């Protein structure tokens, strides 16, 4: 009769040694697996902490788009206000450009282009321009006095506001607004958008092409400046709203200066197709009687935001 023993089998010394080696190997494998899993987990957590969640990504701010009004087709660019050193920042200007002084302007809309002959005719019925054949499309209006421009603006505002049922107004830019926009938001630019004149300006230059030398060009022919505005250097001189004062820069207020309260000459900026490089600098100031006309004088407009119109009442919106 066979009897079953309850005692555990006795292992030989060699078997016991092999068993211990096997247990140690299994323990090493398990430990290594745990270590690898832990490292992978930590890597994923770190990556998640530096990667923004897709539902919380903040898009880059988009600048306001230009608008085109439904009366004349004038295109206006939103100019974000700011502060800058107005005047002879380069130390090479005339006395009337000095002293360079800090001014700040509020936001405003400025014409992407100089007002064209067609846009003038839509309001006034006919164009006074001498340079009627400067190109097939979009020649800037010329031979307009400051007073002529005021009549145009008055009629434009009356028609625009009546058709759009809003309160607001077009006007000429102040000198401070004009220079701020010409210098791509107050940057230290000799010419509007570049220090290389030929890139941005239609101006007096001898290159064997008499037509190029002796006439303006359609608006937008050259490169725009940093704000997407064209021809603020050259093509035609541009009237501003300011009276000229020889000492005004020395006493100018810092915020939104608008020029002297009275005078006998109005300020023009930007230079024209008859002018050379010195007169086309962004800080250069010209000043003429408000009745003066020339075939190298035109203008561009701004839209006045001082009334703080609600979004739905912005220009071009019905």
Please write the tens of the pLDDT for every residue from 142-162: 999 999 999 999 999 988 777
CATH no., domain 73-313 = 3.90.1580.10
- The torsion angles phi and psi of 157, rounded to 5 degrees, stand at -60, -40
pLDDT of the residue at 4:
43
- pLDDT bucket at 133, cuts 50 / 70 / 90: confident
More confident residue, 54 or 33: 33
CA distance 311 to 283: 34
Q: 25-51, pLDDT tens digit by residue?
A: 545 454 444 544 554 555 444 444 434
**Is the pTM here over 0.85, yes or no?**
no
Q: Which residue has the higher pLDDT, 250 or 6?
A: 250
Q: Which of 7-11, 168-172, 286-290 has the highest mean pLDDT?
A: 286-290
CA distance 132 to 295: 10
Selected residue with higher pLDDT from 218 and 4: 218
For residue 226, is pLDDT > 50? yes
**Cβ-based burial of 111 (10 A; exposed 0-12, middle 13-18, buried ≥19):** buried
Is residue 74 within 8 Å of residue 115, measured between CB atoms? yes
- Answer yes or no: is pLDDT of 283 > 90: yes
CB-based contact 232:256 (threshold 8 Å): no
pLDDT value, residue 70? 81
Query: Token pair of 133, please?
Result: 């054949």
pLDDT value at position 317?
A: 44
In this prediction, residue 243 has a pLDDT band, given cuts at 50, 70 and 90, of very high
pLDDT band at 18 (very low <50, low <70, confident <90, very high): low
SS3 per-residue string spanning the chain: CCCCCCCCCCCCHHHHHHHHHHHHHHHHHHHHHHHHHHHHHHHHHHHHHHCCCHHHCCCCCCCCCCEECCCCCCEEEEECCEEEEECCCCCCCCHHHCCCEEEEECCEEEECCCCEHHHHHHHHCCCCCCCCCCCCCCCECCCCCHHHHHHHHHHHHHHHHHHHCCCCEEECCCHHHHHHHHCCCCCCCCECCECCHHHHCECCCCCCCHHHHCCCCCCCCCCCCCCCCCCCCECCEEEEEEECCCCHHHHCCCECCCCCCCCCCEEEECCCCCCCCHHHCCCCCEEECCCCCCCCEECCCEEECCCCCCHHHCCCCC
Average pLDDT over residues 221-250: 96
The mean pLDDT of the chain is: 80
pLDDT score at 187: 96
Q: Grade residue 199 by pLDDT with cuts at 50, 70 and 90.
A: very high
Least confident interval from 131-145, 190-204, 248-262: 131-145
For the chain, the distance separating the N- and C-terminal CA atoms, rounded to the nearest angstrom, is 112
Query: 186-215 burial, b if ≥16 CB within 10 A, otherwise e?
Result: bbebbbbbbeebeebbbbbeeeeeeeeeeb
Could you state, in order of their start, the residue ranges of all structural domains in the chain?
Answer: 73-313
Residues 6+ apart with CB under 8 A from 244: 96, 259, 260, 263, 265, 266, 267, 285, 287
pLDDT digits (tens, 9 = 90+) for 135-147: 666 899 999 999 9
pLDDT of 204 over the 90 cut: no
pLDDT band for position 270 (cuts 50, 70, 90): very high
Per-residue pLDDT band for 134 (boundaries 50, 70, 90) equals confident
Instruction: Give tens-digit pLDDT for 56-112.
Output: 333 333 344 667 788 888 999 999 999 999 999 999 899 999 999 999 999 999 999
């Amino acid at each position: 009769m066979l009897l079953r023993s309850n005692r555990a089998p006795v292992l030989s010394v060699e078997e016991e040694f092999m068993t211990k080696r096997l247990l140690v190997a299994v323990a090493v494998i398990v430990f290594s697996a745990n270590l690898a899993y832990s490292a992978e987990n930590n890597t994923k957590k770190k990556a998640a902490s530096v990667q923004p969640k897709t539902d919380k990504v903040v898009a880059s701010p988009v600048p306001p788009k230009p608008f085109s009004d439904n009366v004349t087709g004038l295109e206006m660019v939103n100019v974000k206000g700011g502060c800058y050193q107005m005047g002879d920042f380069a130390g090479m200007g005339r006395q009337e450009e000095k002293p360079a002084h800090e001014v700040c302007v509020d936001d405003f809309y400025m014409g992407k282009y100089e007002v064209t002959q067609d846009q003038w005719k839509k309001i006034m019925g006919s164009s006074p321009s001498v340079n009627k054949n400067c190109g097939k499309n979009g020649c800037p209006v010329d031979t307009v006095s400051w007073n002529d421009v005021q009549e145009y603006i008055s009629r434009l505002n009356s028609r625009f506001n009546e058709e759009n049922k809003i309160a607001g107004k077009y006007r000429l830019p102040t000198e401070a607004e004009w220079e701020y926009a010409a210098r791509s938001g107050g940057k230290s630019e000799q010419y509007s958008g570049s220090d290389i004149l030929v890139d941005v300006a239609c101006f007096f230059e001898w290159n064997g092409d008499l037509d190029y030398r002796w006439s303006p060009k359609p608006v937008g022919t050259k490169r725009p400046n940093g704000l997407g505005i064209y021809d603020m250097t050259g093509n035609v001189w541009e009237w501003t709203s300011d009276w000229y004062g020889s000492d005004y820069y020395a006493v100018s207020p810092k915020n939104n200066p608008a020029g002297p309260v009275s005078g006998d000459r109005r300020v023009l900026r930007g230079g024209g197709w008859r002018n050379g490089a010195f007169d086309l600098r962004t800080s250069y100031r010209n000043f003429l009687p408000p009745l003066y006309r020339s075939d190298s004088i035109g203008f561009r407009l701004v839209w006045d935001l001082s009334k703080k119109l609600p979004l739905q009442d912005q220009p071009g919106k019905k």
